[in-house]
Chains A and B, each alone.
Chain A
Amino acid sequence: MHVKAQVGMVMNLDKCIGCHTCSVTCKQVWTNRHGAEYIWFNNVETKPGVGYPKRWEDQEEWQGGWELDRKGRLRLKAGGRLKKLLQIFWNPDLPEIDDYYEPWTYDYEKLTTAPLSEHDPVARPKSQLTGKDMSIKWGPNWDDDLAGAPEHALRDPDLEGLGEQVKLEYEQAFMFYLPRICEHCLNPSCVASCPSGAMYKREEDGIVLVDQEKCRGWRFCVSGCPYKKVYFNHNTGKAEKCTLCYPRIEAGQPTICSETCVGRLRYLGLVLYDADRVEEAASTPDEKDLLDAQLGVFLDPEDPEVRAQASRDGIPDDWIEAARRSPVHALALRYRVALPLHPEFRTLPMVWYVPPLSPVANAFEHAEPGDPDDVFPAIDALRIPVDYLANLLSAGDAEVIRGVLKRLAAMRSYMRRKEVGRRPDAGLAEAAGMEPADVEAMYRLLAIAKYEDRYVIPQAHTELAGRLMEQQGTCGLDFEGGPGNCGAVPASEPATNESFMLTDMAEGRMPAEAAANDEPDDQPLRLNIVEMLERGSRAAPEAEA
């Protein structure tokens, strides 16, 4: 047993109102730069729908993630190391920009500078790839709220095999939102696909990052991630991805997307897991057993033996304590209401979802008290087909979804009866396989959802940091692995990768003495010679200003 800690996330889909606040705040912080216009580390998809990029879930098309070979051994679906090196000049599985969308802006200036005329001036869309006029054919959330569903939604890969059950006529349509970020997988195929070794998983908290200095733009991580959560910045020529807001996580704060979530549906907490069993779990023969296999990799922080081993493996005591209070551990393991997204990709994802129960209409509340048989059959009559959720969250195993929905339904009925003054109905809880106390605790976590219960994030142990000194005086977001974004760029100039780098004062592995120097001016300023060749001496002082 080798114990590692991982910061995981759970999203309660019942509460997502599709407002896209998480996407916007994330973009504002991380990808509001030239070359990253089309990149959304966090995006919210309407389900059913084609997603972003289109049909990302269809691995027969994109070849992301892992599969088992004929002997049952785990291998990258897109092929092994040699195959990749031979195809390095052209990657057969890379999405094109139109699979995401062509980013654009408008020439707003036209609105104020146009001469007086009979008709209102029009701000025309300008491509952010070419700067030229364009006609918009697709965009972020083009199929939001089932827009154009008759044309697009049926191409949702999760609808496969559902046949007659799915009706998209207005009266019978179903819909919910799926917010997505990088899964910070236990068995990340992006890391495995990177020939340069530029991608890595952090030992301390499991966050998966791209080392911007080591990335050479071979772009296999983009195709290797089955969730399509590594993006290629066409300006810098390097890969970028969700950082799980590690500078905030290290400070014990929730990620931007969680902090700003209007529905307060996100949970962050630690999961302890056995690193020695990851590969074995990912190699589970039957896809439907992958959920249990992954749960089997998680360790119970209440187990004294686990705690002792965690301590021996260097996990600080307050982290072990935080793992005991982790809402992620509770929702995934204790209450078993959270499920991984597409476990069949075999990356052992670590952002899990509580499936949506809504809209429940009156299915549960009017059931006879004390008669679970009256409550649970309604689950199959819910608007969102169980099989659809199964394709999304349990590799097609509808029983798993029924079990989760049953526990959620039991919680609702139980609490409703308690709150409206009738006697709480222990029978309901038991029928769903839960203790009444657990039901109430789960209710507090899911429905009351206090800030301090949703986010249990221990601070990083800075006393263990050999290298923190060197970050003094730097922007704090720019160090190893992070695209960073606090390089102040003059508003008059489009943010180029070059000017962005100029603000990055810390010379990657700068010696501690240099950094400890009080004069920031003495720190080596990293210049970009390509930029210097291209823009002459103008570039450096201006970008610094």
Chain B
Amino acid sequence: MSAGALLLWVVIPYVALTIFVVGHVWRYRRDQFMWTSRSTQMLESRWLRWGSTLFHYGTFLAIGGHVIGIAIPAAVPDAFGIDEEGYHLISVSAGTLAGVLVLAGFVILLYRRLRFPRVAATTTRTDLVAYGALTVALVTGVIATSGWNLFVSGYDYRETVAPWFRGIFLLDPNPELMTEPPLIYQIHALSAWLLYAVWPFTRLVHAWSFPIQYLGRPYILYRRRYAPARTGGG
């Protein structure tokens, strides 16, 4: 195993994960004020409607696909009687759908950010970093899932990329697994670590604040400014 492989497939992942975790803790503690979706809807709404909706719903589909494809070992679908070919069909079609949604949404979002001066004026440098990282991850991901499978030849990442990725989290890294996949898969894997590393410093942190607690909360909230007054009884 070469030093290069070790760097690419072991060191970079752990460094990125460390930045991801420490960065989030630090940002959350230090910077609640800028922890926001930083919505630009009131500056431009027509394009955002489709851009944001397609992009976010597509992203959730894509994230779901990654979880199924990478976190779940190949043996599980096998056990349910889904063979390699069947799995391939499902993953390529669902993956392509997700890819199309995300990509369409992302293109619309980028277009409106460049086209409308009001939106462009709110773009920060960290936004550019986030868009850059997302672009690489997205484009390589779509090429790998759809392009590669449809136009070149199918590749079963479940034998290499997936176990390598799981190995990182199980503290049992196997860099040699990653020397085999086609280049596009390698770049896609690396872009993921880039995305994780910049995540805590960009607006992407808004994703962790999805307000699910809203579903179970009373509508009207009161807060006390002062400690309760001590009254007659106690």
Contact = CB atoms under 8 A, between A and B. Distances in A.
B211 A85 contact: yes
Contacts of A530: 31, 34, 124, 126, 201-202
A235 interface: yes
Contacts of B31: 526-530
A527 B26 CA distance: 11
Interface stretch (B93-101, B132-140, B155-163, B222-230): B222-230
B221 A191 contact: yes
Interface in B30-58: 30-45, 48-49, 52-53, 55-57
A281 interface: no
Contacts of B27: 529
A72 interface: no
B33 A234 contact: no
Contacts of B38: 217, 237
A89 B52 contact: yes
B117 interface: yes
A349 to B, nearest CB: 14
Interface stretch (B3-11, B169-177, B186-194, B212-220): B212-220
Contact of A203 (B34, B44, B225, B233): B225
A219 B225 contact: no
Interface string A494-519: 00011001001000100000000000
B229 A508 contact: no
B122 interface: yes
B206 interface: yes
Given A89-B53, A530-B31, A232 B118 contact: no
B232 interface: yes
A404 to B, nearest CB: 29
B43 A129 contact: yes
A526 B232 CA distance: 41
A334 B229 CA distance: 30
A212 B33 contact: yes
A236 interface: yes
A504 B34 CA distance: 13
Interface centre among B38, B52, B57, B120 (most CB of A within 10 A): B38
A94 B37 contact: no
Q: Is the interface of A mostly helix, strand, loop or mixed?
A: loop
A311 B37 contact: no
Contacts of B115: none
B40 A201 contact: no
Given A201-B222, A237-B36, A529-B26, A464 B229 contact: yes
A196 interface: yes
Nearest to B229: A314
A95 B42 CA distance: 6
B229 A196 contact: no
B232 A234 contact: no
A218 B35 CA distance: 11
A216 B41 contact: no
Contacts of A261: none
A234 B206 contact: no
Contact of A217 (B32, B39, B44, B225): B39
B209 interface: yes
A195 B214 contact: yes
Interface centre among B35, B42, B43, B225 (most CB of A within 10 A): B225
A257 interface: no
A480 B42 CA distance: 25
A238 interface: yes
Contacts of A88: 210-211
Interface residues of B, number: 59
A501 B39 CA distance: 19
Contacts of A130: 117-118, 120-121
Contact of A82 (B33, B206, B215): B215
A366 interface: no
A148 B165 CA distance: 66
Interface centre among A89, A132, A212 (most CB of B within 10 A): A89
A196 B211 contact: yes
B222 A203 contact: yes
Given A197-B214, A199-B221, A200-B223, A311 B232 contact: yes
A78 interface: no
Interface centre among B35, B38, B129, B211 (most CB of A within 10 A): B211
A528 B34 contact: yes
A94 B41 contact: yes
Contacts of A527: 30-31
Contacts of A462: 226
A464 B117 contact: no
B45 A96 contact: yes
Given A90-B49, A464-B227, 12 more contacts: A81-B214, A96-B43, A97-B43, A130-B120, A197-B213, A199-B221, A202-B222, A203-B225, A213-B32, A217-B38, A501-B33, A530-B126
Interface of B: 26-27, 30-45, 48-49, 52-53, 55-57, 117-118, 120-122, 124-126, 129, 201-202, 206, 209-215, 217, 219-229, 231-233
14 contacts: A89-B55, A90-B41, A97-B118, A130-B117, A201-B221, A202-B224, A218-B37, A236-B36, A312-B233, A314-B229, A315-B229, A528-B30, A529-B201, A531-B34
What are the 8 closest A-B residue pairs judged by CB atoms, nearest first? A237-B38, A192-B219, A195-B211, A217-B36, A464-B226, A213-B32, A237-B36, A195-B214
Interface of A: 76, 81-82, 84-85, 88-91, 94-97, 129-132, 187-188, 191-192, 195-197, 199-204, 212-219, 222, 232, 234-238, 278, 311-316, 460-462, 464-467, 497-498, 501, 504, 508, 526-531, 533-534
